[in-house]
Every structure is written in structure tokens, then in C-alpha cells.
Amino acid sequence: APDALPASLSSLPPDFVWGTATASYQIEGSVTAGGRTPSIWDTYSHTPGRVHDGDHGDVADDHFLRYREDVALMKDLGLQAYRFSIAWPRITPHVTADSLGPVSEEGLDFYSRLLDELLAAGITPAATLYHWDLPQALEDAGGWPARATAERFAEYAGLVAARLGDRIDSFITLNEPWCSAYLGYGSGVHAPGRTDHADALAAVHHLNLAHGLATTAIRAERPDAQVGVTLNLAWVRPADADSPADVAAAHRIDGLQNRVFLDPMLDGTYPQDILDATSSVTDWSFVHDGDLAAIHQPLDFVGVNYYSPTVVRAYDGVGLREEADGHGDGAVSAWPACEDIEFPAQPGPYTDMGWSIDARGMSELLLRMHREHPGLDLYVTENGSAFPDHVQPDGSVQDDDRISYLRDHIEAVAHAVREGAPVRGYYVWSFLDNFEWARGYTKRFGIVRVNYETQERTPKASAHWYAGLIGEHTAKD
């Protein structure tokens, strides 16, 4: 078995927060309850050929009906915090491009009961307002490439803060806008499955705008709440650090994945090199006067999601262009203006997603944020791994590979903290096995196993290990 606990936990402050994370469409099911209308993921997953095995979130983990049992299990394990997301189509099921429409009291009530349950269990909630389940009606009106989506999102965010904010101290506006924009509108391997690089870049801007406008709307209702955003930042390296072409390629991917979100949100600018590099794709005329000021709101924290490193190489046009970053499974690349860049295969070990495991990226990203944005609080809002389950004859689930992954990455967080990065907490992705988007139910990220026939929950060895780590760290206080 892997070593018990990281030796270096003591460098983490006593009030460091240990939690787990989930997202609405991946776990809730009950997709028509309380008048909920379809999201882009309902539509996408019910379109033949889009999701592995035709899987969809109609039932998922049945969390909508089993949330009490799930919170009780979190409490048993000693988890201190829970990052979940609110399904927009439950809250305003009749939103249009022009107006939010009527509020669903039944939709609000589900999250109200969930929050009460969490608080009664002593678990701190962190609410993500958008984890990819865009109301289908807004997609039909243009989706994220359209400005109205950002405007309606801000109104929805203000509404949630007004109606549920008395029990939410920590808001996350968006989860991984990179995925929404480039996988949703570029490669099309995520909902809504569109493949147009100009649309993907318009989506980038309107997601940034949505974040800024929502931050202002939340603060108007809850001036004391902590407001942040979750980004899947890439730890990008050139395949050959001595090759100027590889270094330039790495800089462009860094711009398209990291700086195109960080710069407007934290500095109020778009990176000029990215505006230039994408000028043949779009003229960026969707950026209106005042937008950058609206996006550039003071933030209480940035959430970093990290899974795997990114290595890039300049592509000379000879041979097949390698796309081992896993974003090229569609016919179209996720990356605008990157036909001259490839993603060479990386060394193992790999997770069940085929993602290369390298915990150094975790420290590097946190330390980069600390260097470039000193004083800005950081959370690891997702980190974890998919591995096949090994269910034992006695029903217990052994997942030593996941324990090793978590241990190494938590050690990397502790290392970054020792070097000065202000990391305040860490959320394992995920609490439960769940609907892993285009990969359906085949990929299991949970520290708790879900039997999809019976909906039975079984904490894996990693859940017990994580519970032990939390206990150990708390006992040191």
C-alpha cells in the first residue's frame, strides 16, 4: 500500500480547508424535477454518437433524491468543505435571450435544502454558478458566442446570491471557461458540440464578461461573500526548451489557455500576442468599450484545477500532427490558430483518462500565480484521477493508484505553500464517481464508488485515506 500520509502536511496552515467537489449535471439526475428544462448537456448527451455508449445524466448518481445520504457520508468522512454547482435550468427554466423569466421556487428549494443539510453537518459550502449546464434556450439564441448569454448569467448570479446567499460565503462564478469555449465551440467534444474557432473565441470573451458582470451582481447582494473563479490552468512546457519554435508554441498555448482568462480578469487587458495570433480567425470586434473594465473586478480568490501537464512542439507539417493532449478526439482541433503546433505523447504513468501523471505541475502553477499575482488567495478547486475500480470479494474498493496520485499532488501543494503560495484549501475531484462528460460513466473519479445498478455508495480506500489525512492535519492544530 502507498505510504500513509504526506510527511509535509505540517507546512499547511491549521485553517487549511479540505474538501471534495462535484457538478450538478454529473451527479444530480431528476432532470425534469421541479420544472427543470433541458441544458446543453441534456441535448448533447441525447444526441447519438456524442457521448460514449450513449450515456447521459438523466439519473446519474440520483443525488437530487439522495443528497441527505451523501451529506451524511461527507460528515462521516470528516470532510470540511463541499464544492458543488447550481444547475441554471433549475433556477430559471424559462430564461430567454431577453429575460430571466420566472424563478422556479422548487429549483431554489433543492439547493436551499442542500445548503441546510451541509451547514447542519458542519460542512462549508462553496457554490459554483456555472459548471457547463447552459439552458438550451440560451444556446438556441446563440449560446456563449452571444453577448446576451453573459448578461442573463449575471442576472441569474445576482438572483442566486439574493435567494441563497445567506448560507453561501464562497461563490465561484464559472468552472473552467476554457472547456466551455474551446471544447464546446472549437473541437465540439463537449456540449453544444459546435466547431468554429471564431465562435470559440467569442465564447472566451463572453465567458470573461459573464464572470465580471456576475461578480458585480453577487457583490451587490452579498458584499461580504468571497467571490472567485475556477480556471483549468495549464502547466505548459516546450518539448525542447532549446528550440525557439517550441518555446514560441508553448507561449501561444499559455496565452490561449491561461492568459486569455487571467489577464482580463486580473489586469483588465487581453494579451496582445493572442489578439495578433488569432487575427486571421476573428477581429475580436465582440469586445466592446467598457467590457474589460467590467471583467476586471477585484477577486477574493482564484480556483486552480490541475490534472496533467501540457507539452507542446512546433509542427513542421511533416508527418501526422500529434494531438496527445486529448483535445483532438473531434474532427476539429480545440485550439484556434494553432495549426503549426502539436502535442507530443508524454511519458507515463497515465490515469484511466490517458492523462500523464506529473505532480510538479501542481506546484509550478500555484507558484506562478503567487509570483504573477502576489497576495491573491488560491484554492485547488479540483484535482484527482480516474482509475478502474478494484472491488474486493468483501465489497471494499482498493484504489492505491488514486491514493498515490492524491498523496503526490497534495505534497506538491504543500511544497508550493512552503515556497510562499497562499493556498487556502484543496478539493478532491470527485466526491462520487459520476457522469464524466463525453466519456460517460466509464471513467471513475470518485473517492466514493457508485454502483450504477443500485446507486449504492461505497467509500473507496482513498476516501478512508483522505479522511485519515484530514484527521491528522486537524489534530495538529
Q: Which of 323, 364, 382, 411 is catalytic?
A: 382
Q: Min. distance of Cβ 387 from ligand PNW in angstroms?
A: 13
224, with CB counted inside 10 A (0-12, 13-18, 19+), is exposed
176 is an active site residue:
yes
* Contacts within 8 Å (CB) and 24+ apart, 413-417: 413/12, 413/362, 413/363, 413/366, 413/380, 414/6, 414/8, 414/9, 414/11, 414/12, 415/8, 415/11, 415/363, 416/362, 416/363, 416/366, 416/367, 416/370, 417/11, 417/12, 417/13, 417/366
Flag whether 25 is marked binding.
Answer: no
Closer CB to ligand PNW, residue 305 or residue 404? 305
Q: Min. distance of Cβ 178 from ligand PNW in angstroms?
A: 8
Torsion of CA 463, 465, 469, 471, to 10 degrees: 70
Identify which of 173, 230, 21, 28 has the alpha carbon closest to the alpha carbon of residue 113: 28
In the chain, count of helices (H) and strands (E)? Answer: 17, 15
Flag whether 80 is marked binding.
Answer: no
Q: Min. distance of Cβ 305 from ligand PNW in angstroms?
A: 6
Cα 447 to Cα 385: distance, rounded to the nearest angstrom: 9
Flag whether 307 is marked binding.
Answer: yes
State the angle between helix axes of 63-77 and 461-475 in degrees (0 to 180), rounded to the nearest 10: 50
List residues near ligand PNW by CB under 6 A.
23, 26, 175-176, 179, 232, 305, 326-327, 382, 429, 436, 445
Flag whether 258 is marked binding.
Answer: no
Flag whether 88 is marked binding.
Answer: no
Closer CB to ligand PNW, residue 206 or residue 327? 327
CA contacts within 13 A on the Cβ side of 379 = 30
Flag whether 383 is marked binding.
Answer: no
Contact criterion met (CB below 8 Å) for 229 and 212: no
Kind and range of the H or E run holding 304 = strand 301-305
Kind and range of the H or E run holding 468 = helix 461-475
382 is an active site residue:
yes
Q: Min. distance of Cβ 401 from ligand PNW in angstroms?
A: 16
Flag whether 411 is marked binding.
Answer: no
Q: Min. distance of Cβ 259 from ligand PNW in angstroms?
A: 17
Closer CB to ligand PNW, residue 219 or residue 449? 449
Q: Min. distance of Cβ 458 from ligand PNW in angstroms?
A: 20
Closer CB to ligand PNW, residue 387 or residue 429? 429
Closer CB to ligand PNW, residue 344 or residue 471? 344
CB neighbourhood size of 429 (10 A)? 24
Closer CB to ligand PNW, residue 142 or residue 326? 326
Q: Which of 176, 342, 364, 411 is catalytic?
A: 176
Residues making up the binding site: 26, 131, 175, 307, 429, 436-437
**Residues with catalytic roles:** 176, 382
Residues making up the binding site for substrate: 26, 131, 175, 307, 429, 436-437
